[in-house]
Amino acid sequence: MRSVASLAIGLALVGCTSTDVAVSATSSASSTAATPPAPSTTVTTSPPATTTTVPGPRTVTMAFSGDVLVHSPIWRQAERWAQEAGRPGYDFAPFFALTRPLIESVDLAVCHLEVPLRLPGREPSTHPLYGAPAELIAGIASGGYDHCSTASNHTLDQGAQGIDLTVTEFERIGMTQSGMARTPDEIEPRVITLDTASGPVAVSMLSYTWSFNGLQLPADEPWRSALIDPDRIVADATKARALGAELVVVSLHWGAEKVHAVTREQRTWAQQITASGAVDLIVGHHAHVIQPIEQVNGVWVVFGLGNVLSNHPSTEEWPTASQDAMIVTVSATVHPDGRRTVFPPVAHPTWVDKQSGRVIRDVLAELADPGLPPGRRAVLEASRDRTARIVGIHLRVG
């Protein structure tokens, strides 16, 4: 787990143009490039000489995953794992173990936590009012994540106290979050400075949701979370720029459940937000299935990442595609003149395994195993193909 990341990798770019400038041959390197050597340290005993040298471009790598939605089979499995290890409580770490190498390889890894933590004395709960064990956040951190977006239609499921508990646990574990607030200032834009291999890059993560499922923000605490409002989002992004953010990423909990197609509302919001020029990337979730990746006004929009961890009932109500998801990696360069180049997102397909320990599986990594049983291979190939039909050329190759 990193408070600021120091690794950088070249992402596999897949034939799309970048947001700002054409992708060079060197920027289309493999997404698993070796970690560069650590920079040397220079010790001086006198003030450095004044220089007018302009710093070169700085590149940051990021990864985003979709909904973490804790249904009862998830927490019961976590409870069994803790018991097997001779510990009380819950152990969520195994759910995130197989995707950790990818998550740890970037400078900033971002999850979307859709649920708040349960209140003291209450059992974990699911639909319609979710409440997850506190150990969930430690499990997310164990997977290499640095930050989570938290604004969702379930943000208010445990009330203001649930928000307080959730944000405090993130703070205790050493992760940052955006989308929930204990105080008015915590909902305001903040800047995270990432120590990348090419130099520090200042990033602001903003988080909003389409609804709170009919629940209302407290009348005297309307700052507890944030609904999607393009004017507000643009204003927040502009404020983040004034605070020094060089890149602004917006997390949007939106779309229609179980629907791969982008809704008219999603498209309208994306048009309005990206037209401002204040936002560099939009990542979305909530549909519980994968949605397309497109450019809107020259800005990359990942409309829906799918459920990175969930266990919806296996009924006609929840299609097989609700087990499909993707971790999307994105590389962005900040140029000396302040321009930003965001390169095409790369989709790494994942699959929620409900039968074998319900562990998140890296689909392509498993398919590369020549000893994979034929039945298992067929299931994962079907998942990969469903994802490919939605995200097309953005799917990672190999």
DSSP string covering 302-354: EEEEBEEE----SSTTS-GGGGEEEEEEEEEEE-TTS-EEEPPPEEEEEEE-S
Q: What is the DSSP letter of 4?
A: S
Give pLDDT tens digits for 301-320.
Answer: 999 999 999 988 766 678 88
CA distance 351 to 135: 22
SS3 state of residue 267: helix
Output the pTM of the full model. Answer: 0.87
Asked whether the predicted pLDDT for residue 100 surpasses 50, the reply is yes
Most confident of 9-23, 284-298, 308-322: 284-298
Asked whether the predicted pLDDT for residue 47 surpasses 50, the reply is no
Q: To the nearest whole number, what is the mean pLDDT of the chain?
A: 88
- pLDDT bracket for residue 41 (50, 70, 90): very low
What domains can you pick out in the chain, each with its CATH number?
58-394 (3.60.21.10)
pLDDT of residue 314: 66
Helix (H) or strand (E) holding 100: helix 100-104
Helix (H) or strand (E) holding 60: strand 58-68
Q: What average pLDDT does this structure show over 173-179?
A: 98
Q: What average pLDDT does this structure show over 199-205?
A: 98
What backbone torsions phi and psi does residue 289 show, to the nearest 5 degrees?
-140, 165
**Residue with more model confidence, 355 or 79:** 79
Residue 133: asked if its preceding bond is cis (omega within 30°), the reply is: no
**Residue with more model confidence, 351 or 51:** 351
- pLDDT bracket for residue 26 (50, 70, 90): very low
Q: What average pLDDT does this structure show over 357-370?
A: 88
Sequence-distant (≥ 6) Cβ neighbours of residue 323 within 8 angstroms: 307, 351, 352, 353, 354, 383
- Where on the phi/psi map is residue 385: left (φ > 0), alpha (ψ -120 to 50), or beta? alpha
